[in-house]
């Protein structure tokens, strides 16, 4: 592992301190990629899993602290039933088949989003992987599944309101830290870099609170086409940017 990490760092040519600690990815274009190849949309999702594997393993090699992947939005349930069933099958299969790699590479898996609409069988395999990897200390792989940032904020506000009602929290003491601690991502750092594939120029209800000061990097490549070289370029571009967080430099 140490040797592969060194080789990956040499290819990247960006010192560790200049790399993003947390990378979030809006994985877009699976269906469009498949249609361009004359393939059914579900084949694009299948090929997208290979990109998930590549990017996750490369982030682990590069010693990135966290990778958050937008797997299924709360709005995606509007898609055709057959496509949704296939996505659930892929998710269940991923949770089972990737366990050995997850453990070998010391990856810790988390899931954010509302689980109530996810089939029970998928939830069981998901929880098994989460529990199995809980003690790992390497890359944190956070999968956003049935996730919507507005829903996340609604859930946080409800929980805070209940605590105020029950006398557990003083409304006058509510601040940004209070809100952050009630989000699905409580305990996680905010993303430094957001990558979006397929050339789309929107956030799509993804981590709206958390990406307030994230750098955004767009590629025309659809997700099934995304390779390690694309990840490297995104990190290089990130390292070259001047992050001011609303202040001035120079």
Q: Is it the case that residue 177 has pLDDT exceeding 80?
A: yes
Q: Which two tokens stand for residue 21?
A: 């600690």
Say which residue, 140 or 78, is predicted with more confidence: 140
222-245 exposure pattern, b = at least 16 Cβ within 10 A, e = fewer: bbbbbebebbbebbeebbeeeeee
Q: How far apart are CA 31 and CA 43, in angstroms?
A: 8
Q: Is it the case that residue 3 has pLDDT exceeding 90?
A: no
Contact yes or no for 73/152 (Cβ under 8 A)? no
| pTM of the model as a whole | 0.92
At 206, the pLDDT band (50, 70, 90 cuts) reads very high
Q: How far apart are CA 42 and CA 119, in angstroms?
A: 19
The contacts found for 171-180 with CB under 8 angstroms, 24 or more apart, are: 179/209, 180/209
Q: How far apart are CA 223 and CA 225, in angstroms?
A: 5
Average pLDDT over residues 68-78: 88
Q: What pLDDT digit, counting tens, does each position of 107-158 carry?
A: 999 999 999 889 999 999 999 999 999 999 999 999 999 999 999 999 999 9
Q: Report the catalytic residues.
A: 28, 76
Q: What pLDDT digit, counting tens, does each position of 12-52 carry?
A: 889 999 999 999 999 999 999 999 999 999 899 999 999 99
Q: How far apart are CA 18 and CA 23, in angstroms?
A: 13
DSSP annotation string for 188-229: SPPPSEEEE-TT-----SSSTTTTTT-EEEE-SS-GGG--HH
Say which residue, 97 or 80, is predicted with more confidence: 97
SS3 197: coil
Fold of 2-11+20-148+190-238: Undecaprenyl pyrophosphate synthetase (3.40.1180)
Q: How far apart are CA 237 and CA 52, in angstroms?
A: 21
Instruction: With CA atoms as reference, report the closest residue to 84 among 93, 95, 76.
Output: 76
Average pLDDT over residues 85-108: 95
At 173, the pLDDT band (50, 70, 90 cuts) reads very high
């Amino acid at each position: 592992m140490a040797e592969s990490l060194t080789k990956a760092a040499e290819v990247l040519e960006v010192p560790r301190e200049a790399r993003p600690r947390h990378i979030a990815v809006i994985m877009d274009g699976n269906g469009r990629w498949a249609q361009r190849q004359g393939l059914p949309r579900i084949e694009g999702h299948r090929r997208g899993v290979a990109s998930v594997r590549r990017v996750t393993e490369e982030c682990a090699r590069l010693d990135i602290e966290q990778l958050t992947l937008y797997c299924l939005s709360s709005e995606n349930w509007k898609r055709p039933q057959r496509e949704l069933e296939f996505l659930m099958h892929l998710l269940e299969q991923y949770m089972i088949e990737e366990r050995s790699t997850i453990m070998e590479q010391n990856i810790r898996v988390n899931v954010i989003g509302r689980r109530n609409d996810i089939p029970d069988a998928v939830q069981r395999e998901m929880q098994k992987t989460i529990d199995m990897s809980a003690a790992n200390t390497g890359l944190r792989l956070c999968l956003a599944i049935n996730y919507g940032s507005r829903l996340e904020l609604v859930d946080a506000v409800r929980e805070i309101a209940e605590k105020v009602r029950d006398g557990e929290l003083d409304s006058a003491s509510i601040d940004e830290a209070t809100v952050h601690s009630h989000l699905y991502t409580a305990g996680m750092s905010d993303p430094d870099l957001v990558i979006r594939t397929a050339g789309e120029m929107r956030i799509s209800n993804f981590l709206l609170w958390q990406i307030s000061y994230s750098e955004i990097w767009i590629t025309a490549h659809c997700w099934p086409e995304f390779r390690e070289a694309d990840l490297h370029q995104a990190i290089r571009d990130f390292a070259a940017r001047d992050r001011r967080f609303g202040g001035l430099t120079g």
